[in-house]
Structure 1
Amino acid sequence: MTPPSLTALGAWAELPFFAEDWPRIAEQLAAETRVVLPPAPQIFAALEHLQPSAVEVVILGQDPYPTPGHAHGYAFSAEPDVRPIPRSLANIFKELDADLGASPKDPDLRFWADQGVLLLNNVLTVPAGCAHGHARLGWQKLTAQVLNGLSDRPRAYLLWGAHAQKAAAEVDPARNLKIETPHPSPLSARRGFFGSRPFSRVNDWLQGQGKPGIHWTKP
């Protein structure tokens, strides 16, 4: 694959990762013989969509969907025509229904990003058909620097599963809203993700900060 351009990253491009780690990762991606997901122009889509000052809520995922045609650079989100809806996202929608009485009509969550929700995976690429196949490339350094860069003011963090919770271990729960539950995957959703009401809790917190809540269920 041809590594993506960094020109649309704005302030994120100033993170040390892009000078210190990205050249090596880009070289490894260029040498990858398997199909890399998401397509190169979408690898940094979540960061391109939201500049640091616009981020109000952070949702951390693990790595992109490994099924071709699903991943488009936003954690848990998928292209609008994807059916069936990925299983973890289907469980997120079940919890949305239980929490707010409705859920989105398709798996495209970019309208959340439009409202200040950073949908960031801890690892930004995956070989097609090989979940976690790029977990050792070093993407986690970018996640750590993004979170550190967002420590300038209080924000809400939805941390679903051990990977997200480990990545955000340094986020101050006294200063930020930090909701930690099991992952919404079919293997763990019933261990505490269901019933956690994260969406209404985030909106209550945002409104307590004098900010508008997120329209989670429809654009």
Structure 2
Amino acid sequence: MHREETLFDISTTSDDAQALATMATAPLTDLVANDWAEAFLPVEGDLRRALEFASHQALAGVQVLPEPANILRAFQQPLHQVKVLIIGQDPYPTPGHAVGLSFAVSARTRPLPRSLANIYRELESDVGLPARVHGDLSAWADQGVLLLNRVLTVGSGAAGSHKGRGWEAVTAAAVKALAARRTADGGRMPLVAVLWGKEAESLLPLLDGTPVITSAHPSPLSAARGFFGSKPFSRVNQLLVEQGAEPVMWELPAVA
């Protein structure tokens, strides 16, 4: 069974408001991988402002999702190891669902969110892999797939409630840092970006020539308008191979 790990060790019995306040003042290298910490220096103030806002929300009695230890989970994977970027919106606002990786949920979550169920449907149609009963996507993250939400926290039951509080600057800096990576001889490091929906597509100008796959969002409201049949998984692997990188093994464990 996959064990969720965090760089910033917060006891599950800690008060969320205090944990968030502590994160807001902790060194960046205690919160994210070292190369991400360097990339975030220009937006450190925005990151701390977002964490402070979340702390104030928790202090006011709002349940902030995901739990503090998972808010920056996507940035545990070192910047230099990322080869695929998949952009989401904000965390699932249902308690127990958000785990710090876009579209993923806890291995125990049933039923799966409908967007994730649609992703699994397209995965089977595209590359023939059966849908899983769990939503633990950590096997993708372990291979260098950055599952990044545009906004990294949300209030319980209130989708979009933490927009405009600093996270957008942080995640924009992440996208720019990925696109700016270069090899020792000055070439681009392999990267494919997957942008589902108009909000994700708004980041296209920051990707600086990175190969990009776009389609409708997998939400039930839009999946039939271009997500189904878009074959993102096989196309990602084709683009990775063209850049000299290993393809992603998209098959997830049957049991998480």
Shorter-chain TM-score bucket reads: over 0.9
The residue type equivalent to 1:123 in the other structure is V
Q: Deviations over 1:134-192 (max 9, x none)?
A: 012121001111111112224100000111110233213xx422011110000000100
Contact 1:104/1:216, CA 8 A, preserved across alignment: no
Query: How do 1:113-192 residues align onto structure 2 when only pairs under 5 Å count?
Result: 113-151=141-179, 152=181, 153=188, 154-172=190-208, 175-192=209-226
Distance 1:155 1:23 in 2: 28
Write the distance in 2 (CA, Å) between the matches of 1:142 and 1:168: 16
Query: What's the TM-score, normalizing by structure 1?
Result: 0.94
**SS of corresponding position for 2:51:** helix
Q: Work out whether residues 49 and 166 of structure 2, in 8 Å CA contact, stay in contact via their aligned partners in 1.
A: no
Bigger shift: residues 128-137 or 104-113: 104-113
Say which SS state the counterpart of residue 76 (structure 1) adopts.
Answer: coil
The alignment partner of 1:150 has SS state of helix
Query: Which amino acid in the other structure matches residue 21 of structure 1?
Result: D
Segments of structure 2 that go 5 or more residues without pairing to the other structure are 1-16, 182-187
Structure 1 residue aligned with 2:84: 57
Q: How many residues align?
A: 216
Question: Which residue does 2:113 correspond to in 1?
Answer: 86
Which of the two has higher C-alpha Rg?
2
Q: Is the 8 A contact 1:207 1:213 kept in 2?
A: yes
Q: Residues 43 and 173 of structure 2 are in contact (CA less than 8 Å); yes or no, is this contact kept in structure 1?
A: no
Distance 1:20 1:216 in 2: 36
Cα RMSD (Å) of the superposition? 1.4
Paired letter, 1:156: V
Contact 1:17 1:142 in 2 (8 A): no
Structure with the largest fraction of helix: 2
Give the counterpart of 2:240 among 206, 213, 219: 206
- Residue 111 of structure 1 corresponds to 139
Q: What TM-score, normalized to structure 2? A: 0.81
Structure 1 equivalent of residue 229 of structure 2: 195
Unaligned runs of 5+ in 1: none
CA–CA distance in structure 1, aligned partners of residues 47 and 31 of structure 2: 15
| Superposed structure 1 runs of 4+ greater than 6 Å apart | none
Q: Aligned with 1:206: secondary structure?
A: helix
> In the alignment, is the contact (CA less than 8 A) between 2:121 and 2:131 conserved in 1?
no
Instruction: Measure, in 1, the Cα distance between the counterparts of 2:140 and 2:167.
Output: 23
